[in-house]
């Protein structure tokens, strides 16, 4: 087991990618603590410690992180999205998206780094949207670019003791993906168009992201730091032109 004897802390561990990472870390022998904004989710294995935590609240973060006594693996996965352009976005949208996605990562890292031992690994969940823009997702796109920049900064400032990398997922099958297709005029056509843009001809699964998170958490990746690892089924390797045009 690649993570035996290591403690892991995963934010946004309730569902989707975060839950996939919790499950994968447990399978590899880590002792996992997860947090989210609500009560302990049903079905979460008893051995996982759960904290109700809003990562955008610095005081609450300090209290809970201090109580953990430290961790060898930290995953900043908690994130929210608001589907608006700059001109449609309100101050409240800014506070929500930047509060969780940007300040939340900062809060957690600032609290944990001083109590992380040599050889620890921080894994931030960035996004392909931090490199190329999803339409009408202005604040989300910008918040993920912040995560990418912070990832490099932490790697530079806190190496060699702490490694810090980001994973940039593409389209991952979570409840939100199907909800998006349901809004389309022709959901089946929308889904087949989206699939045609993926070189592997499928969408990602939380386990695909968790697999990279396990590697980055393990000692196998001891020389990897400051990098962005894109896991998107080849989507951003291709030109954004309509598939089938040529």
Partner 1 sequence: MMLNGKIALVTGARGGIGRAIVARFVKEGATVFAADLTAEGSMDRHDDDGSHFVKLDVTQEADAIAAMDHVRERHGKLDILVNAAGIEIEKTVEETTLEEWNQSFAVNSTGTFLTSKYAIPLMREAAKSGSSASLINFGSYDGFIADPGLAAYCATKGAVHALTRAMACDHGPEGIRVNAICPGYIDTPMLQSFFNGDGSGGGGGNIETLQKAVRDVHPMRTYGTPTDIANLVNWLASDEARYASGQLWVLDGGLSAQVQQMKL
With CA atoms as reference, report the closest residue to 148 among 32, 226, 33: 226
Judged by CB under 8 A, does residue 148 bind partner 1? no
Nearest-angstrom CA–CA distance, 3 and 7: 8
* Nearer of residues 56 and 143 to partner 1, judged by Cβ: 143
Applying CB under 8 A, among 60, 96, 145, 190 the residue interacting with partner 1 is 190
Judged by CB under 8 A, does residue 237 bind partner 1? yes
Judged by CB under 8 A, does residue 197 bind partner 1? yes
Number of residues that bind partner 1 (CB under 8 A): 26
Name the token pair of 125: 């969940």
β partners of residue 230: 168
* Nearer of residues 26 and 190 to partner 1, judged by Cβ: 190
Q: Which residues contact 77 (CB under 8 A, 6 or more apart)?
A: 10, 11, 12, 13, 17, 18, 21, 125
Judged by CB under 8 A, does residue 235 bind partner 1? yes
Nearest-angstrom CA–CA distance, 53 and 76: 13
Q: Is 140 a catalytic residue?
A: yes
In the complex, least distance from residue 19 CB atom to partner 1, rounded to whole angstroms: 24
Judged by CB under 8 A, does residue 231 bind partner 1? no
Rg (CA), the chain: 18
Instruction: Match 């940039």 to its residue by tokens.
Output: 168
In this structure, what is the dihedral angle of CA atoms 156, 158, 163, 166, given to the nearest 10 degrees? -60
Pair type for strands 228-231 and 162-169: parallel
* Nearer of residues 103 and 197 to partner 1, judged by Cβ: 197
Judged by CB under 8 A, does residue 175 bind partner 1? no
Tell me the backbone φ, ψ of residue 57, rounded to 5 degrees.
Answer: -100, 105
Applying CB under 8 A, among 15, 68, 227, 236 the residue interacting with partner 1 is 236
Q: Which position among 50, 106, 140, 229 bears the catalytic label?
A: 140
Near partner 1 by CB under 8 A, which window of 32-40, 50-58, 67-75, 130-138?
Answer: 130-138
- Strand ranges, E, within 24-113: 31-36, 49-52, 73-76
Applying CB under 8 A, among 33, 129, 221, 225 the residue interacting with partner 1 is 129
Judged by CB under 8 A, does residue 184 bind partner 1? yes
With CA atoms as reference, report the closest residue to 164 among 123, 114, 117, 125: 123
Judged by CB under 8 A, does residue 180 bind partner 1? yes
Judged by CB under 8 A, does residue 135 bind partner 1? yes
Judged by CB under 8 A, does residue 209 bind partner 1? no
- In the complex, the residues that contact partner 1 under the rule CB under 8 A are 128-129, 132-135, 180-181, 183-184, 189-190, 193-194, 197, 235-243, 245-246
Active-site residues, by number, are 140
């Amino acid at each position: 087991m690649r993570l035996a004897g290591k403690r892991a802390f995963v934010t946004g561990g309730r569902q989707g990618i975060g839950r996939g990472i919790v499950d994968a870390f447990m399978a590899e022998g880590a002792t996992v603590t997860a947090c989210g904004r609500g009560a302990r989710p049903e079905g979460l294995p008893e051995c996982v410690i759960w904290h109700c935590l809003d990562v955008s609240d610095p005081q609450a973060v300090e209290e809970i992180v201090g109580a953990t006594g430290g961790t060898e693996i930290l995953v900043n996965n908690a994130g929210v999205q608001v589907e608006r352009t700059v001109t449609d976005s309100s101050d409240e949208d800014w506070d929500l998206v930047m509060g969780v996605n940007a300040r939340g990562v900062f809060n957690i890292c600032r609290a944990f780094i001083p109590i992380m031992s040599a050889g620890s690994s921080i894994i931030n969940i960035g996004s392909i949207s931090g490199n190329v823009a999803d339409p009408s997702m202005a604040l989300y796109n910008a918040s993920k670019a912040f995560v990418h920049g912070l990832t490099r900064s932490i790697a530079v400032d806190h190496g060699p003791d702490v490694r810090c990398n980001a994973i940039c997922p593409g389209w991952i099958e979570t409840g939100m993906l199907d909800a998006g297709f349901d809004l389309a005029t022709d959901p089946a056509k929308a889904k087949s168009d989206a699939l045609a843009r993926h070189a592997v001809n499928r969408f990602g699964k939380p386990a695909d992201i968790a697999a990279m998170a396990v590697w980055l958490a393990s000692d196998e990746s001891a020389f990897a730091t400051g990098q962005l690892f894109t896991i998107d089924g080849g989507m951003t390797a291709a030109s954004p032109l309509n598939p089938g045009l040529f």
